[in-house]
Structure 1
Amino acid sequence: MEGGSGGTLSEVHQSARKLLLKCSDDLARLERLEHSTSTSAAVDSDLSFAVKKDINQIQSLCVDMDRLWRSVAAKPQRDLWKRKVEQIAEEAESLKQSLDKYNSRIQKRTREANERAELLRRVNGGSDHVLRIFDDDAQAMHSVRNSARELENANALGEAILSSIHGQRERLKSAHRKALDVLNTVGISNRVLRLIERRNRVDQWIKYAGMLLTVVFVLAIVLWRR
C-alpha cells in the first residue's frame, strides 16, 4: 500500500508524526519569542511561515493516509489505522488553530502600535492646538473664580442689608410698645389705638416690600456684572 508520495501507510504516518513534533516545537518557540524584545519581526514571520507550511504538509499527508487505510484488507487493522489517521488530523488542526491565534495576536499588536505612533504624531504635530485648548481652559477657570468672588461679595452685602433692616425692625417694635404704653397711660381711646395698629401693619408691609426690592436689586447687580 503506497501513497502518492511513494511511501507505505506506515512510512507516511511516521513522516506525519515527525512533522507534528517539529511543528509543536516551532510553535512553542514562536510563543516564547512573542514576548521577547530582542527578536526581530522578520525572524518571527519566517518561523510562522515555516510552521504554516509544515501544517499544510501534514494535512496533505492525512489525505494520502485516509486513502491508504481504506485499502487495508483486515478490518481490525483498518479500524486501527483509521483512528491513527484521525488522531494525526486532529493534532494538525489543533496546531493550525494555535498558529491562527498567534497570528491574530501579532496583527492586533502591530495595529495597536501603528495607532499609538499615529496618535503621537498627531499630538506632536498639533502642540499649538493643545496649548490653545489649555489656555482657553485657564481663562474659563479664571472667569469662574471671578464670578464666584462677585457672588460672595454680593451675598455679604445682602446679609449686611438684611441685618440692618432687622435691627431697624426691632427698634420700631420697641418704639411701638413704648408709644402704646404712653397712649394707654394718657387714656387714648381704643379707636385711636386700632388706627395706630393698622398703620403699623401697613408699615410692616412697606418694610417687607423694601427688603424684597433690596434683594432683587442686589441680584440684578450681580447678574449685570457677570
Structure 2
Amino acid sequence: MEPLYQQTHKHVHEIQSHMGRLETADKQALHLVENEIQASIDQIFSQLERLEILSSKEPPHKRQNAKLRVDQLKYDVQHLQTALRNFQHRRYAREQQERQREELLSRTFTTNDSDTTIPMDESLQFNSSLQKIHHGMDDLIGGGHSILEGLRAQRVTLKGTQKKILDIANMLGLSNTVMRLIEKRAFQDKYFMIDSPGEDQQAVWETPGPAGPAPLTLHRASSPPRMTSPLLISLVSCLVAVDQASLIGRCDLAKVLHQEDLDGFEGYSLTDWLCLAFVESDFNITKVNENTDGSFDYGIFQINSHYWCNDYQSHTENNCQVDCQELLSPNLLAIINCAKKIVSGAGGMKNWVKWRLHCAGRPLSYWMTGCHLA
C-alpha cells in the first residue's frame, strides 16, 4: 500500500503545480493543459479506489491511520477537481462574452424609421443587468458547490475521528453500559420521612434485602425541633457505615481470589474475576437481586438460586449444595467454591451474561493496576 500511496501523493502535488499553468497558458495550449489535469485527476481517483481496498486489508493497529491518510488524499483531489471546474466555468463565460462582443462589433446596422426605432440604451442596460445577474448566480452556485464539497469532506473526517474514539474505548475495554455502571450511585434506596415538630416523629430507612427493601423504623416522643437533625444524622452515619461494610476493595478482592488459587483457574486470570465481580455487583458482597422468573442472584458474583443454591423459597437444583445465604458471607469462601464449580462446567465464565458483554475479549490488565498480591 505504501508505494501506491506515495505515488498518488506525488501525483496530487504535480497537479497542484500544473494548476498554476492555467492562468499563464495561451488559448491554444489551455485546452491541452485542462485535459492533461483532468486525465491526471481521473487516474488518481482510480488509485484512491485501490488504496481504499488496500487500507481495509492493513493490520488492525494500522488500519485506522491508513484510512485517514486515504481520506485526506481524497479530500485534496476533490478540492483540485472543484478548482478545475470553477476555472473552466470562468473560461467558458469569458469566451462567450468575447464571441458576443465580436458579433456585436461585426454586425452592420441600418437606420430605422420612426416606426421601428428601438430604445437601444434601455435594452443594453437591461441586457447588462441580466448578464450581471447571470454571473452572480453562477458565482453563487459555484460557491455553494464548494461549500457542499467541504462539508462532505468534513463529514468523512469526523466519521474517521468518531471511529478512532470508539476504537480507543474498545482498547480500554469499556462500553457504554460499563461507563454507566462506573457512575452508578454507591448507596441504594435510602429514604427519610420526618413528621412535623410537636407530634410523634418517625424515621424510616430502607436497605435492599433478599426479599426486597426491609424498613427499619425508629419511634420517639416529641421533642424540640432542634434535636431532630442530630439524631437523624447519627442514625444515617451508622447505617451508611453498615452499608459500606458490604463493599470490598478491588485490590483486597484480588488478594482473596489469589489466595484461593483463582488466578489461571480453568484458563481465567484474576482480571477476568475482578471484571466479573464489578459488572455483576459493583464489588458488593451482600448484593441480592430478584429476577423476573422469581429466582434471586446472590453475592459478589450474583449466583442464581434456581440452579446453584437453595433459598428455600422456590424450586432449585442446588448444584453447589449450599444455602444461598452462605454466598453472602464476608469471607467469600462459599461463593468462590460455587463459582469454581460453575466455571469448571460447560461454558465457563460465559454462564454470566454481563461477563460476555463487558469483559470477554477485552483488555483487562488495568483491573490489577496498583494491586500488590504479596
TM-score by length of 1: 0.48
Which protein has greater RCO, CA pairs closer than 8 Å, 6+ apart?
1
Which structure has the larger Rg?
1
More helix by percentage: 1
Q: TM-score, normalised by structure 2?
A: 0.30
The answer to which structure has the higher strand fraction is: 2
